[in-house]
Each structure stands twice: as structure tokens, then as C-alpha cells.
Structure 1
């Protein structure tokens, strides 16, 4: 299969893509199906999402086991969660200047290899300090992977297909709940909390092998005008100088707040506040994950069909309502918790999928790597701050009860309202195709 060295799809001046099996140019953009290679690439990117997201998400349900095992306080556990985010943010900023100078496939494999080494260290950690160090190393590599995935996705898929492909990528998140979290919790209960990290490493090695063999080089951006002309520092400054991209960065940071504030203490809240037995946690994640797996592609299709904004605003409204209910739950039956959890995740994904599809069209091709690296860095840094703030807002009582959790919900609701305003500003004046409204500053 020949290398694809055409102009990346989805740009204002893009030529028809040379991806094998591409749909003829006469096909209306809104009707373009995925080519066989696009389906393969989307599947591989979703596989990466599954592995990386599971590594981060597993900290939440394992928190109820890790904290007593390592004698960690709520603040220390919040630090362990945020350490990944802070190191990932720093790594994103450090790589932003040269992210567009290499074949994205090679860059992806390098950082994925480092991520697996960090995860292996987590699986061998025996103290708070060693776990903290392991999470820092994992974040340095894992935090960059998401930005590379987004850059590859924007290179291979035109704007009219991005809602659907973002839905598929979020399916990797859902699959981590359907398959990864229940199995990880089973391994942790059968052996100990280290076992899930070892399993992630083994699965990640298989994923890396498939990507190495099946994914073509992603290097079309190397031929774009201006690529490699400036130093890494200047390329970074050029990316952050664009006002519309600054708005996109702020939007991403706000959208991140919700998950990072709610997730670290979700398992402790469900067990000690809502009164759900620990052995029922896999059922909650399983049902929520299955529903998310079903709804994510539907949300992506809806965003492509009716537009990103209506879907995004509906997601904001659902998120606000369900977060208010969720954070105020007292002792409740399992079915009610699952219902609230499912609807809340549908709302969150109805925000994230159209937002990601919109953000993919903001940067020019020669700035995609840098833009996504910075965007991912700010996402992780904002998430780290959110985790630390949540760790200082809530207090764990002697009986394990999570106190002041509703205050976390108020912060999430406020960030959602501001994000809705920023999203409206971001799409104002944007062409229908999703391309940048103005050329980036040089």
C-alpha cells in the first residue's frame, strides 16, 4: 500500500485525498463513507484511546483499595492522580515546538513505548512515593499520545467525517469501561491493585505491534509550507499567538474540569456515601460503559448531521442537571445510581464529541501537531489543578464518608456554563466545512 503524501484532508485548500480506496471527489462531503484504510486507522486510534484512558481511569475505582494499602490520605491520592496530569501537561508544552517535524506514526510509537514503561513501574510500586514517581513518568509519555492521535485523525479525516470518527474514538473510552474497568477491578480483587497495571502493559505491547505493522506513515504535513522553517520555540509561539486557537485552548481546559474533579473520588463516594457495596462497582462501570459505547457513535453521527452546536448545548444542559443530582445523592438503590451515571456520561460525551470535532478544524495542517500538543498540555494541567482542588474541597471522614462533594458539583456546573459561552464564540464566523476562519499568523 503506497504512502499517503497528499495534502491532508479537511483543509481549506486540500486536494482530494490519496488514501487508498477513497471516495470520488464528486461524492457530497456529508455523504462520504469511511474508506477501508480510514476504518482501520480509526480502529487503531480507538485501541490507543482504550489503553491510555484505561491507565488513567483505573486510578479512580482502585482508589478505595490503594489509599488504605499505601496509607494515603485524600490529599495524597489527589496528588497521585494530578501528578500524571501535571507531568503530561509539561511534556505537551516541551514537545509542541517540534511535534510537526516528524512522521506522526514514529512519534506515536516513541511516546507509547515510554507510556508502557511508566505503567509497568506503577504495577511494581509499593509506596506512595514510588507510585507518585511512576505516575509522573507515565504522564510524561502518555499525556502526549492523545495530541498525536488527534493530529493523525485531523490529517486522515475531512471535517464532514470528524463527528463520526470522534464518536468512534470516544468509543475507546467506553470500551475501557465495558471491558477494561470491570476486568481490572476483578484482577485487583483476585490478586491486588498492582495486577491491572501489569495487564495494561501486556495489552499495550500487542497494540503497539499492530500499529507498527498496519499504520502507514503519517507525514503529509511535512510538505506543508512553513514546516520546519523556524526553531521549535518560534513554532510554539506562532501557534499560541493565533487568537482563535487561544479560545480553543481555554475551551478545552474548561471541558476537562468536570471529569478530573469528579473521577478521583467517585468510587469512594459511591461506596461510602451512596451505600453501594464494593463488589457492585464493576456492574456500575459495565452498564455505564455499554450505554456509552452505544451512544458515542450516535452522538458523532448526530453532530455530523445536525451540526456540532445543537448537540453540544444539549450535552451541556444534560451535564448540568445530572451533576447536580449525582453529587447530592445519599443512600440510594443501585438502579438509581446507574441511571444517573449513564445519563451524566451521555451528557459529558455530547459535549466532548462535537467539541473535539470542532477543535480538529481550528489549526492549519502545519500547526496541527503543535496545536494538539499545547491543547493536550493545557487539558492535563487544568485537570491536574482540578484534581488538586477537588482533593482540598472534599474531606474523607473516619468512616470513609466523602464530605462536601456537592461543592465539587457546583464548580463543574460553573465551568460547563462558561464552556458553552466559549464554544459559541469559537464557532462564530467559522465556515460550514469546519476550516479555520482565518489563516494562522506566521
Structure 2
């Protein structure tokens, strides 16, 4: 079942990033000015970020399997419709619908794993599911670009039809996950967030999660431009470098549970974060693209270890509202990535280079580590793990 979740996250990740290489083709096809073309990408993110805040709390009161199944079917249909878009506005509409459907789908994957797997296997299952996102960045988008060489609609149809097959697999393989019966009226969407964020440990953990994505988003947003400016790489060469980073991320995510088990949550987080801080600050000063690529490979491998750990910490905050937690995490990630990309652009322009971006990312990760430690969530995770180790 963990590989089914891997496949779902691979499909969603590929669809998320697919529009980027197709943007010039679609802009020309629909006769869209450059200033407006970005909405074909933004419509998806807008739908996902907005409805994730609603989807999570609602799903905590429903059968999680049905929410996952309906979201996946909606995602498949809306993605297929993207291949039939006739103009800019229909493409934006279908991309928005795909984002909304993804908001009901992806958080259910993260919320379902702790409910379906025994505690000893949760970390590994989360790592494998996260690997689906890593593989989508490394291979999904390039494969989509190859399909688009035949016709721009082929990647959308391939992802949509593949998602329908995944929906059929969910219907057969995933058991029902009905919410526990509670006396009285069902809590509202707002009350679920109030109950969750009333805990200082939860607020601290989400703040730390925001900081890490703020820094990582800033660093990644202008990585391609910096590689081109600093080392005069072509678009293809930059793509190969980023492909290599995706492989590092995949390796780390697959090894995440083993690393966390060997080191413990506290030591794994501290060691990984300190390495990442040093790497982000040092990379802008490295003399060759080969050295940069090697360091970034190991950096993304470390992040591949850390992100499933963070998702596990978040899901452990309150087992009764895992859908709310996963959805808030999705919105937190999207918001932090957006702010990070905007900040990165200002820093890159103001200081004419990547060094300020690397320093900003290092500061963000240092803040994240400090908040993770001070929130107490890592200590709690260590205490829960100790009996199992003994």
C-alpha cells in the first residue's frame, strides 16, 4: 500500500510542476502575454492552497478513504480536461479544479499512513510517499516534456488516465478509515484549527515547518538562474543538474526512516539542519559547477531525510485531526515557498548574486532548528521512540 501512496504523490507532483516546461508552448498557442501566462501555473497553486485549509478539517469528520477516492477522481478528470482546453481561461479553470482536487487528495495520503501502518513502519511509509514527490521532480517532469513533443495535451491525458487507474487501486486496496464516533454535534472547521493551534507545541512545530520551507523555497527559486549566470550553463545543462538534485532527494527520502531510527529524531534533525545551513551558506562561493552539484546532491539527500521526519512530527501532534494537520502543513508549505521565492528575487537583484540568498536560507534553517528544539516536539518524539527501541 505504501507504493500506492508513492504513485499518488508521484502523479500529483508531476502535475504540479508540469506546466512550467509547457508554458512557452501554451503562451504561444493561446496568445497570452507574458505578464498573464503565469496564471496557468498560479491557478493550480491557488486552488490547492485555498481549499487545503477547508479539506483537512472536513476530512477528519468523514471516511478518509472516500475523501481520497473522490479527490483522486476529481484530480484525474480535471487534469484530463486540461488537455482539452481551448483558450487561456479554460486552462486556468481546469488547472484551478486540479489544484482543488489535489487539496483533497495529497493531505489524505499523509493523514492515512499513521492510521494504516504500525508505529514501527510509519517512518518508512512516510519516506516512500515523500519519495514520490522527489521522483516526480527528477523524472516526471522530463517525461512529461518528452510526451509534449508529440502534442502538448499528451502529458495531461497520461497523468489523468494514470490517476484513474490509481483511483481504482485505492477502491480495492485501501480499507475504510471512518472517524471515531463522538457524542454531540460535529466540530466546525474553525474549532478543529482552534483545538490544534491551542497547543504551544503545535504552534512551534508549524512555525519551524514554515521557516524551513521559507529558506528552501528561496534557495531553489533562483538556483537555475544562478547556475546559468555563474557557470554559463545552457537550459539543458541546468536541467541535468537539477535532475541530479532530485536523485539526491529520492535517496534521502528512501533512507529517512533508517537514519532517524539510527540517530533518533533529535540528533537527526540537529545534524541534518546544521549540515544544510553550512552547505547553503558555502555553495555560492564554490569554484566549479561539479563541486556545486555534488554538494547539492548531498544537501538534497539530507533534506529528503528531514522532510518525512517533519511530516511525522506534525502528524503526531494530534492523532484525531490528522487531516487538518496535513492540510495546514500543505498551506504552510505553499505560503512559505511563495514568500521565499519573492524574497529570493529581491535579494538576488539587490546584491547581484546568490550569496545573500544562501545566507538568508541559512538563517531561516537556523531559526527552524531553534524553534523545533524549543517547541519540545523532538523531545516528545524521542520519549515515544525509547520504549520501542528497548
TM-score under structure 1 length normalisation: 0.74
Matched, 1:423 2:372: yes
Of 306, 314, 332 in structure 1, the residue corresponding to residue 271 of structure 2 is: 314
Of 328, 331, 339 in structure 2, the residue corresponding to residue 377 of structure 1 is: 331
* Maintained 8 Å contact 1:60/1:266: no
Question: Structure 1 CA distance, aligned partners of 2:70 and 2:124?
Answer: 28
Partner of residue 95, structure 1: 55
Alpha carbons of 1:358 and 1:192: their partners in 2 closer, same or farther (altered >3 Å)?
Answer: same
* Maintained 8 Å contact 1:316/1:416: yes
Question: Structure 1 CA distance, aligned partners of 2:160 and 2:180?
Answer: 32
**Structural mapping, 1:196-215, within 5 Å:** 196-215=155-174
Deviation (angstroms), 1:49: 1.1
**Structural mapping, 1:20-419, within 5 Å:** 41-59=1-19, 73=34, 81-124=41-84, 131-188=91-148, 190-191=149-150, 194-219=153-178, 221-223=179-181, 225=182, 229-271=186-228, 273-281=230-238, 283-326=240-283, 332-333=288-289, 335-363=290-318, 365-390=319-344, 404-419=353-368
Deviation (angstroms), 1:127: 6.5
Alpha carbons of 1:277 and 1:159: their partners in 2 closer, same or farther (altered >3 Å)?
Answer: same
Deviation (angstroms), 1:203: 2.1
Question: Structure 2 CA distance, aligned partners of 1:158 and 1:184?
Answer: 36
Deviation (angstroms), 1:344: 2.4
* Maintained 8 Å contact 2:266/2:378: no
SS at match of 1:217: coil
Partner of residue 6, structure 1: none
**Residues 325-382 of structure 1, C-alpha deviations (whole Å, 9 max, x = no match):** 455678x55x44532331221132232122122222111x322222222232222233
Deviation (angstroms), 1:240: 2.8
Alpha carbons of 1:126 and 1:309: their partners in 2 closer, same or farther (altered >3 Å)?
Answer: farther
Question: Structure 2 CA distance, aligned partners of 1:133 and 1:394?
Answer: 33
Alpha carbons of 1:71 and 1:431: their partners in 2 closer, same or farther (altered >3 Å)?
Answer: closer
Question: Structure 1 CA distance, aligned partners of 2:85 and 2:342?
Answer: 22
Question: Structure 2 CA distance, aligned partners of 1:164 and 1:416?
Answer: 24
Alpha carbons of 1:374 and 1:240: their partners in 2 closer, same or farther (altered >3 Å)?
Answer: same
SS at match of 1:222: coil
Partner of residue 38, structure 1: none
Q: Return 43-52 or 171-180, whichever deviates more.
A: 171-180
Question: Structure 1 CA distance, aligned partners of 2:219 and 2:160?
Answer: 26
Alpha carbons of 1:179 and 1:342: their partners in 2 closer, same or farther (altered >3 Å)?
Answer: same
Instruction: Give the root-mean-square deviation of aligned CA atoms.
Output: 3.5
Alpha carbons of 1:131 and 1:410: their partners in 2 closer, same or farther (altered >3 Å)?
Answer: farther
Deviation (angstroms), 1:62: 5.4
**Alignment coverage as a number of residue pairs:** 383
**Residues 160-198 of structure 1, C-alpha deviations (whole Å, 9 max, x = no match):** 33322222122212322443133123234x246554333
Question: Structure 2 CA distance, aligned partners of 1:172 and 1:341?
Answer: 19
Question: Structure 2 CA distance, aligned partners of 1:76 and 1:391?
Answer: 19
Question: Structure 1 CA distance, aligned partners of 2:268 and 2:124?
Answer: 13
Alpha carbons of 1:248 and 1:85: their partners in 2 closer, same or farther (altered >3 Å)?
Answer: farther
Alpha carbons of 1:122 and 1:347: their partners in 2 closer, same or farther (altered >3 Å)?
Answer: farther
Q: Return 346-355 or 177-186, whichever deviates more.
A: 177-186
